[in-house]
Structure 1
């Protein structure tokens, strides 16, 4: 199999020349090693190597040709110049390609990558240097798994094109439709199209020649990150999950924004790889910590790296930690005096889920007659002796309840005026 090369990048016949020189050296060495040095003639010109059938002979005359010249292959004739000494060795017949002619090969690309729903071109070209080989037919053979070979495209110069595999119906076509370049295009790719694609020629007289391209189908993962709603507690639990689903190859997940020091219970705790359909993989990563009320609303970042993505995917998640309510009261300024209007107390409540029940009461029983409730606010329309009490706010959610209280002291009008005058 020969891969596509740049034009003009033709390999010189260096190895053929080297091989010929090595053969000559071996033949001469064998002749001389089998001959006593004293038996070699001491007179005359140099020797000549002559091929006779499957034998190579070294002829060495005792006297040169007429004129005393050196014996050469052109001047040597067995009948006119019989040598007085020669040695022959038998060599195996060698089959070498003619000088300047490269061995015929099928040029293909070794490996290609593609994605579902897209298209891919499988290139194939027959290099017929010198035109000594006759091309009769070309076939594309698909091997989805080892041992299974299915014809998907056939081209014959007389009978035309054929696409015998129903799995590729209306999805495969010859680009040029010639024997010299029977490249094909597969469209609407599927993950199941992965495998080995062999471009196989039927030729004369050398027989079948082929080249194989491996098609690797890739899949971009579906990335997501989500919070896991948990209750505040004392043990570590998973509070967020990051997922890279149905990717090929599998994605790699990293958490940012709160990684623990080594040995701490907080941080990524579990990772799992689940095999999916058609060779894909789903990767899951959980982020664990000991949840506290203060972790509610905290943000974490998940990063997914995968071969098919042009850049790293980034997802941000906000943690959801449930905890019972906490209650406090604000608004009392220690200046409630007789006759003051619109004194306001506010019940501050935190909790997740948000408390749905907020109630006001006093430790002495009833609220003042002028008290008005609006959500978490209590407004005393006119301060009188009934406001001289302890106000209590209570809140509850599904996890429990809490209460806060504040005691109001009602001042007389004269005391209020003195307080306003002195600032105390």
Structure 2
């Protein structure tokens, strides 16, 4: 029975898919077996002249027959080559290679389970890939790869370049890291505004030399600035910093100091100083006067010009000229000789105002402190208004008051008493307005036209008490008229009160 074309196509696709799955599985198993069974170090580093050990070990050899071990060297640029071969039935073999005579198996005699090798007096050209490959049955070849990295500590050096200030960019510092492996990294640290260039160059025995230059537009302000070259390399525990100072040459910069615009006739011993800086240092300093010859009262020594006595002869312009190897710089000052000296400057307005404000603040602080101290003393001593209500005055009957008043009147008659005392007594006495008490106490009044003065009685607030306040006593008047009796509730007019 023939199958349809669609059925045949489906069968072919199924077979192809199964084949692809089988191939992928075999590759994964082979890669896994290789990574697991052959144990090597991924990377080994060494310095020239040393002995390096490349270890190799076959793990879990159960069910696998080990036939032979081969070490293969693969340089970075070049073809692969065998450098060591071991078969249990033969002696170890070392084919022709750059390592012949320097490579050997670590164990003598070697074994298939641990066929490690060593290379003596390694060279920079020995860097590359080393493969430990097993020939096994039935799985085939198994291998492990080790990378040998050769290290060479570089020689680091840095220096500044002496340049003259100018408008164009120039190299002011240079840093080198020579014959290193791998290549070094160079950076710069400085406050000068510039940039760096880096150039790498292959050296002897597979080494690398790195050169970096710092470039800027040099100015006088850059002279003496700190600059450091920092070199980083794998062979160094920490970055190496090479510190320097920039050397920028510029012509002398000159300034004259000492003139205060107050040179007057008769002034003595005034000095002008010529200050100059430059790189290189100034070689010579020359003073001269624009009017011609120097006045007789002028003395010149090095960078100072001293006027012994000011007169009209020094009413000129003094020039200081400084020379160096790369240029000339100068400065000048024009002197104006006055007939009389300028008045001395007093304290500025701002200073005066500040002093006044300071005094005011100080006085305010002192006043506040005194007020607080007095308040504290009042609290301690108990000063201030009483904190309790005083007791009421004692009761006194009317007869006693009348007797006292009478005695006082008899001892000091009205015509002999001072008017001031009488006025004082009247002001201090409180007038009585209880009319009922006044008329109820008529039997206690002595004969004669007399008026009484009295203070408030002790029974003022007790209406039921028959003892009322005594009437005012007025002496010395004959026209006293008794008050008519007025019943409660009736209208009345009180008699005039004489004060």
Q: 1:191-247: CA deviations, max 9, x gaps?
A: 222123344679999999765422122344444554333333333344344444444
Per the TM alignment, residue 376 of structure 1 is displaced from its structure 2 partner at its CA by 2.7
**Structure with more relative contact order (C-alpha pairs < 8 Å, separation 6 or more):** 1
Counterpart position of 2:317: 390
2:162 to 207, 224, 229: 229
Distance in 2 of aligned mates of 1:333 and 1:151: 91
2:222 to 274, 292, 295: 295
Whether the aligned pair in 1 keeps the contact of 2:83 and 2:94 (CA below 8 Å) is: no
Q: 1:57-116: CA deviations, max 9, x gaps?
A: xxxxxxxxxxxxxxxxxxxxxxxxxxxxxxxxxxxxxxxxxxxxx899653224323344
Counterpart position of 2:205: 278
Distance 1:168 1:410, change over 3 A: farther
What TM-score do the two structures reach when normalised by structure 1?
A: 0.54
Structure 2 unmatched ranges of 5 or more: 1-10, 12-32, 348-499
Give the secondary structure class of the aligned counterpart of 2:318.
strand
Q: Does 1:146 align with 2:146?
A: no
Distance in 2 of aligned mates of 1:209 and 1:173: 21
1:191 to 110, 124, 127: 124
Counterpart position of 2:39: 107
Distance in 2 of aligned mates of 1:191 and 1:342: 78
Counterpart position of 1:122: 54
Which has the larger Rg?
2
1:22-33 alignment runs, 5 A limit: none
Give the secondary structure class of the aligned counterpart of 1:147.
coil
Per the TM alignment, residue 295 of structure 1 is displaced from its structure 2 partner at its CA by 2.8
CA RMSD of aligned residues (A): 4.9
Counterpart position of 2:246: 319
What TM-score do the two structures reach when normalised by structure 2?
A: 0.48
Whether the aligned pair in 1 keeps the contact of 2:70 and 2:82 (CA below 8 Å) is: no
Distance in 2 of aligned mates of 1:357 and 1:181: 83
Give the secondary structure class of the aligned counterpart of 2:195.
strand
Distance in 2 of aligned mates of 1:217 and 1:239: 34
Give the secondary structure class of the aligned counterpart of 1:391.
strand
Q: Does 1:402 align with 2:329?
A: yes
Distance 1:168 1:360, change over 3 A: farther
1:12-411 alignment runs, 5 A limit: 106-116=38-48, 119-127=51-59, 129-130=61-62, 133=65, 142-144=73-75, 146-147=78-79, 149=81, 151=83, 175-177=106-108, 178-179=110-111, 180-186=113-119, 189-199=122-132, 211-255=144-188, 257=190, 267-268=194-195, 270-300=197-227, 302-306=229-233, 309-334=236-261, 343-367=270-294, 374-380=301-307, 387=314, 389-408=316-335
Per the TM alignment, residue 174 of structure 1 is displaced from its structure 2 partner at its CA by 5.5
Distance 1:307 1:283, change over 3 A: same
Whether the aligned pair in 2 keeps the contact of 1:276 and 1:282 (CA below 8 Å) is: yes
Give the secondary structure class of the aligned counterpart of 2:259.
coil
Aligned length: 312
Bigger Cα displacement from structure 2, 284-293 vs 194-203: 194-203
Structure 1 unmatched ranges of 5 or more: 1-32, 34-101, 260-265
Per the TM alignment, residue 141 of structure 1 is displaced from its structure 2 partner at its CA by 5.4
More strand by share: 1
More helix by share: 2
Give the secondary structure class of the aligned counterpart of 1:129.
coil
Distance 1:201 1:407, change over 3 A: same
